[in-house]
Structure 1
């Protein structure tokens, strides 16, 4: 048992030096030996199982039963066609589901947690799945533990282990403990860190002893498997709509069958027609198409640096009208650079690109404290790790030839008091030649509250009110120039002290000013967001003046009155704050707790709010927001786990891009659904009216099923993959309570269905009239019916295919959006027309489907009929555009 052994024993067993870690070559060997560090997931459905699931529908059962009956009475061709269409439809369903599943799997891989490991003597960040036994892992607050780890070092380390123990209070960890009792419960193993638990405080290092299914979590993996919500709210609504339409279609078919019985028609033929019409009328592919469009859209978004963790977020994105964004790294470049440093009476400006600088003793002490009181690593090749602010401090030391590794080796850290957002301070205790020294860095105003002395001209003097005013004046001047200010202090002690004693009676050293310039592309994104009816809001821990300077440059705020600090928020009641929230655009000096208040205040006015976050304490605000956005680079595992979306580039512009994509995805789903409903309604109208008025049925069952196959799959999917509307961000956000059939969508669905149905009947009527017959004529010869049905068969399919072009935009004409701008749709239309031509041209298929070859004149007539629904809709769009311009 690892918890009963000493660190030395463990390291010997795994043959690893904790100062160096494994080599990359050794890590690869162990990865091959032990496999990837991930728990076994639920077994995938086999292709055969997916196929069978496509057939699990009552109407499909009836069709299959009809096939058997048709075989029994000797109608082999009809039986074969019905069976072929059913099976082909099932195959298409399997392909669609597989694509959606693969897209979701790809997204899950993108959200794999990262871990800090030491390999070849360097600390690097890798995917947790690449962790192997023997790896030296560095743990810090906000990270999930990637595997079972025997701790080698711990500093105030606390880990929340409720996933394993059920205990919600974090457990204190101590690497020095050894538990000789082999029956020590998991919750009492204080020298161990377990897979999937969460580091909430402090830091630590350890050696990986178990990975994947060999971990404690792996042993109970089946019990911990979560049921994933498969359907989004939109899918549920559409599924419900499908059921309602299904019942209506079945009702119509029952009525139609009853009328046919009264009319004395052939009941078996009418039974097959009714069932085929029910299958065609029910949009059973709605949920599948929505799932595929969502999955493909989300995959497209991931290529633009926005990973959607929860599919419902795609729907919500289109309604977002408030974007609350962190400043550092999101609105700015996250490349902090120290440009000024100050010790009492001496301000020094630093060029951004310079090295080999000289410093006096006071400046050296300032820089030494800032470097030793940090956990980041700095590499000139850009492979630095840690907080950008700390990286900037270590880079400052490099300019003065003060190397962090050298300083760490000379002044070994023996204790620390980690940074937290309430104190806004961090302190370390480091060994000196003749004792110990406390190094503290953080907010200068907080340092001045706990300091009693200052280093002035090389001498330690009492910290007078005059000195405090001077430090605060310099700090304010730096802040006014949009610099982030960080203070430093120290004190010498002759013995090792507890963390609680560190931040008392300090000696002020000075302060540094650093800048993180705005991202170049963000200004344009903010203007685009504003045009789209979205209000950008900045949230930061920086000083008010610093925050406002950046906000003004980015056009987020116009006056300092639009800024408020956390202390002012605390003085207000929730009701008062909510009443005033809309006047503010900048929230400075705020804590993660304030973020929750901000979200709730904006939401109280009915706003749909997006909130960014990266820290452990940001999780509540991310969950409270309608769209929680985590940072992919600087974000902790906790913030990512609480989010709906992850930005892989930590860029504000990506949020705006995601909103645009979200709007387009929703619109594309809407297009596909309205198209499907129009097609299905057209089929119902053409058949039902013919039965109601005792006319010959214009289509036989196999023709109905075939048309349903070629129009309900590829064209609908192609509409779902429509290129984004470039004007989508010129409209206000969508009201989340808005009906799916708002803004004339319901009218377009009914209009399309009525036009398609009527012109199918007109094509059938034209076919009869060519031979001198009318719809009410009795004893129509079979050859005449065959010709008329061929005309109706081609018109019904072609009109649906052409009508899909008009569905691409509710107002713009097909010429404005570009007829060929959606190559998938053009391909689906051409393929559909080609398949129709094949069916009526090849003799064996023509006989099977009860159709015949058409002449060029006939083709020109059916194409003319098929184009009319498209043209009518385009004419209506012209009047709509004229109305909008008035």
Structure 2
């Protein structure tokens, strides 16, 4: 059995000891040993927890508290003798459950994310030969080859390395690739050991040979995946709120049912069995059967609207959770920034140039006609651009179908390629004139790269690298195209420029050259680091960064106005993190920067205190991101966490809302997240939060709308009871169902599509103590809208009876007259609903200001509910089922007048409310 070493131990121990512990050699394993080892340690794959079966996921949609309440309501209806009613309620529950499952299944596409990140085949050394095998079959002790463009299949220690640079952003979040070499240097932050490469990362440049030290779940990749899978999904605030609402409605319905039972038994002196059936009918009447499908359809509508704003929500309930978000823990690279290194400044001894999208602007000087220089026009800039273009192994492929160009190489060199393109430099043409005859590759010790070019009888040695290493090899400096001896003052100027860029979070790169006469090929072959990279002529610096997204500034401002705190949590350096945070207005210069190392020393109390202030986290590890999110949640915050790498997945899973990048994000992050941004744009998160707030506001609007019809449904029964049966029941159970499942739904859906009221993002997130069913909604639903509708529907009942000759003729409980009276009661409730649908569209704003016809869905719903009333009234088969009959012309005239005073009265109330608020 092979003893697995931690990456840190594997990096520091002598190579001979490591190979001995792994029972291998630098020539790899034999096929027999590898096969035996594979049986012992298993395949090089990530074992995910067993996924919940689709059947259980499907059944979940039928077992919420509201769904259970509807199942019980159906049983109650059947027990009360209304079999059709019970079947209809169950049908609504089934349709709603199927729709919810279909919507979530469509949004959450199952992908095997971890395997998608690992390469399919690897070149491995076995039995003294190089073979291509499936990466699944790699085992500890295997020796394999790597080259630029390869994904790393397992954690491994380097045996050989030539100019190797590895993109570890999926693990660290850092934009700049790590240089790797055979010799060990610890580096800064986790995963920075120079001689270790990690599964799930990618080789950007160079070639290497490495020995596997860990596979599958033993890799760092696997450990993060394991941490992610251990997190259970949080119950969304909306689910908790709907459960609470269901309990409240159930209690209200049971109390009302009990009151009606007692009244019917002891006041009306109904037989107990009939009183019980009557009470069951009232319970059914007070349960809003249409609420659950309306909520589901409204959330689905929110999902569709968010998708148009580049946010794909995988779980319907997550839509509303976004509206409650109080803190966003945001990754930097690819989320706040463009994840594309860009040269911002060029410094040469004669001046500094700012690089724009069009060319170069000479700082402090007025360009010709006030326009940027599109072509380089000074000797020093010409020389720097030549070095940047020719001392470069990266290719940038522009693809019109992609927003970002494809980079074949390192991001740093890609930034130089794009810089040269802006300068109008034709690299291919220059290479024909002065082809490369030799290269001294970059390595992490000397931190420089050199290329040698021949032009006629001259050799040009072009060098780029870290200023700290390159400047020491320079004896001259070029000023206005003329070389002279470099002085102490020159070096001070160069260091001052470099320090200024570092303070801004920019990464600088130095350029130098040297020209010597060409003698012969032997001379070229003899050029090595020692004799080529000396007596150089310093040319200048480039300063580059991963720039902020253009739209990030407005998005951050919007979050601050909405009192949503943004905390940057990144694997990048402190300087870069704080510079970007200040640049985009995320924090001030007083913000505290806590590194991963410092975070490990903080106890829970100290971390909570720090989180209450302006704060940035830099150089953090995956488990630390998770810790930050957990601590914020323990402080009562609703946390949205963003990210794109494997390292972000645990925090994404833990957060109330995990937000993954859809373009640059790893599939691991996408699986762990609740929402995926299809444009990787932080501004889309803010748009989604705004939509989430609108969804919650609209939920309250149609909750108010649905509940207001409960009063006019109950009052007719109360009239029947308190008159001791002298007033026949003005509304039958089937007619009540017509309101709850028929005329309620479409206008309610229209309210779910209502646009945001002004100022929705100038308000703080809603408090956790605030609930969907608030006292304000109860008061408006029952004591205002409901009371008005109850009075009008009762008047309509007596109006119909008046037309039939009452009071000279007693009220009848059967016949055409009675059917017309109950039809009139139902119709009056429906026309009150028309007014309520319009009134519920705004909280304070006048309906005439937002546009009385601006919400087309509501008007479609209004037309449909009137048509439904007419179908039930004029279709003979349905007339008998719903106890309805055709209405007379004067009846329709009475009904059409109903909405006008109701809307005007509500407009008056809103006007008073606005006036009070202003004063």
TM-score greater than 0.5 by the shorter chain: yes
Alpha-carbon distance in 2 for matches of 1:742, 1:532: 22
> 3-state DSSP class of the match of 1:630?
strand
| Partner residue, 2:427 | 401
Deviations 1:28-59 (A, max 9, x none): xxxxxxxxxxx999456999999999898233
The structural deviation recorded for 1:831 is: 0.8
| Partner residue, 1:181 | none
Q: Larger deviation: 757-766 or 334-343? A: 334-343
Q: Cα 1:880–1:703, aligned 2, differ >3 Å: closer, same or farther?
A: same
Alpha-carbon distance in 2 for matches of 1:612, 1:737: 26
Q: Larger deviation: 829-838 or 645-654? A: 645-654
User: Is 2:676 the counterpart of 1:646?
Assistant: yes
> 3-state DSSP class of the match of 1:514?
strand
The answer to whether the 8 Å contact 1:158/1:172 transfers is no
- Correspondences of 1:721-800 after superposition (within 5 Å): 721-742=753-774, 744-750=776-782, 751-771=784-804, 773=806, 782-800=815-833
The answer to whether the 8 Å contact 2:338/2:548 transfers is yes
The answer to whether the 8 Å contact 2:464/2:470 transfers is no
The answer to whether the 8 Å contact 2:123/2:145 transfers is no
The structural deviation recorded for 1:300 is: 1.9
Q: CA RMSD in A?
A: 6.1
Q: Cα 1:771–1:336, aligned 2, differ >3 Å: closer, same or farther?
A: same
| Partner residue, 2:310 | 305
Q: Larger deviation: 357-366 or 868-877? A: 357-366
Alpha-carbon distance in 2 for matches of 1:227, 1:42: 18
Alpha-carbon distance in 1 for matches of 2:641, 2:634: 15
The structural deviation recorded for 1:637 is: 3.8
| Partner residue, 2:665 | 635
User: Is 2:496 the counterpart of 1:473?
Assistant: yes
> 3-state DSSP class of the match of 2:199?
strand
Alpha-carbon distance in 2 for matches of 1:228, 1:606: 18
The structural deviation recorded for 1:61 is: 2.9
The structural deviation recorded for 1:621 is: 5.5
The structural deviation recorded for 1:533 is: 3.5
| Partner residue, 1:591 | 619
Alpha-carbon distance in 1 for matches of 2:628, 2:489: 37
Alpha-carbon distance in 2 for matches of 1:780, 1:700: 11
The structural deviation recorded for 1:809 is: 1.7
Q: Larger deviation: 149-158 or 842-851? A: 149-158
2:689 to 659, 679, 683: 659
- Correspondences of 1:351-362 after superposition (within 5 Å): 351=359
Q: Larger deviation: 576-585 or 649-658? A: 576-585
The structural deviation recorded for 1:787 is: 3.1
The structural deviation recorded for 1:384 is: 0.9
- Correspondences of 1:252-401 after superposition (within 5 Å): 252-262=256-266, 263-265=268-270, 273-323=278-328, 325=330, 329-331=334-336, 336-341=341-346, 351=359, 367=388, 371=392, 378-379=397-398, 382-385=404-407, 389=412, 391-396=414-419, 399=425, 401=427
Alpha-carbon distance in 1 for matches of 2:632, 2:231: 32
Deviations 1:256-311 (A, max 9, x none): 24543453558787665544433232134434433332233123212211233455
| Partner residue, 1:719 | 751
| Partner residue, 1:562 | 590
User: Is 2:847 the counterpart of 1:821?
Assistant: no
| Partner residue, 2:241 | 237
| Partner residue, 1:19 | none
User: Is 2:720 the counterpart of 1:690?
Assistant: yes
Alpha-carbon distance in 2 for matches of 1:590, 1:132: 30
Deviations 1:637-686 (A, max 9, x none): 44444544333222232222112111111111222222222223442343
The structural deviation recorded for 1:160 is: 12
Alpha-carbon distance in 2 for matches of 1:544, 1:733: 31
| Partner residue, 2:104 | 104
Alpha-carbon distance in 1 for matches of 2:60, 2:608: 53
The structural deviation recorded for 1:743 is: 7.7
Deviations 1:185-217 (A, max 9, x none): xxxxxxxxxxxxx935565999xxxxxxxxxxx
Structure 1 alignment gaps of length 5 or more: 11-38, 68-78, 116-127, 138-145, 162-169, 177-197, 207-223, 418-424, 497-506
> 3-state DSSP class of the match of 2:885?
coil
The structural deviation recorded for 1:839 is: 1.7
- Correspondences of 1:518-529 after superposition (within 5 Å): 519-529=549-559
TM superposition score normalised by structure 2: 0.64
Alpha-carbon distance in 2 for matches of 1:47, 1:327: 37
> 3-state DSSP class of the match of 1:592?
coil
| Partner residue, 2:506 | 484
Deviations 1:515-573 (A, max 9, x none): 66654444444444444334566677477599658845x5556xx64355557995996
The answer to whether the 8 Å contact 2:241/2:772 transfers is no
Deviations 1:130-156 (A, max 9, x none): x9988999xxxxxxxx99576964489
Q: Cα 1:397–1:814, aligned 2, differ >3 Å: closer, same or farther?
A: closer
Structure 2 alignment gaps of length 5 or more: 1-23, 32-49, 125-133, 161-197, 210-227, 361-373, 454-460, 479-485, 513-525, 529-536
User: Is 2:896 the counterpart of 1:882?
Assistant: no
> 3-state DSSP class of the match of 1:318?
helix
User: Is 2:250 the counterpart of 1:246?
Assistant: yes
Alpha-carbon distance in 2 for matches of 1:616, 1:426: 31
> 3-state DSSP class of the match of 1:199?
coil
Q: Cα 1:61–1:726, aligned 2, differ >3 Å: closer, same or farther?
A: same
Q: Cα 1:132–1:824, aligned 2, differ >3 Å: closer, same or farther?
A: farther
Q: Cα 1:761–1:879, aligned 2, differ >3 Å: closer, same or farther?
A: same
Q: Matched residue pairs, number?
A: 745
The structural deviation recorded for 1:614 is: 3.4
| Partner residue, 2:35 | none
The structural deviation recorded for 1:793 is: 1.9
TM superposition score normalised by structure 1: 0.66
Alpha-carbon distance in 2 for matches of 1:832, 1:332: 50
Alpha-carbon distance in 1 for matches of 2:430, 2:269: 96
> 3-state DSSP class of the match of 1:828?
helix
> 3-state DSSP class of the match of 1:705?
helix
The answer to whether the 8 Å contact 1:479/1:546 transfers is no
Alpha-carbon distance in 2 for matches of 1:105, 1:595: 29
Whose Rg is larger? 2
User: Is 2:710 the counterpart of 1:680?
Assistant: yes
2:72 to 49, 58, 68: 58
> 3-state DSSP class of the match of 1:486?
strand
Alpha-carbon distance in 1 for matches of 2:398, 2:244: 57
| Partner residue, 1:199 | 199
Alpha-carbon distance in 1 for matches of 2:903, 2:316: 33
Alpha-carbon distance in 2 for matches of 1:404, 1:775: 109
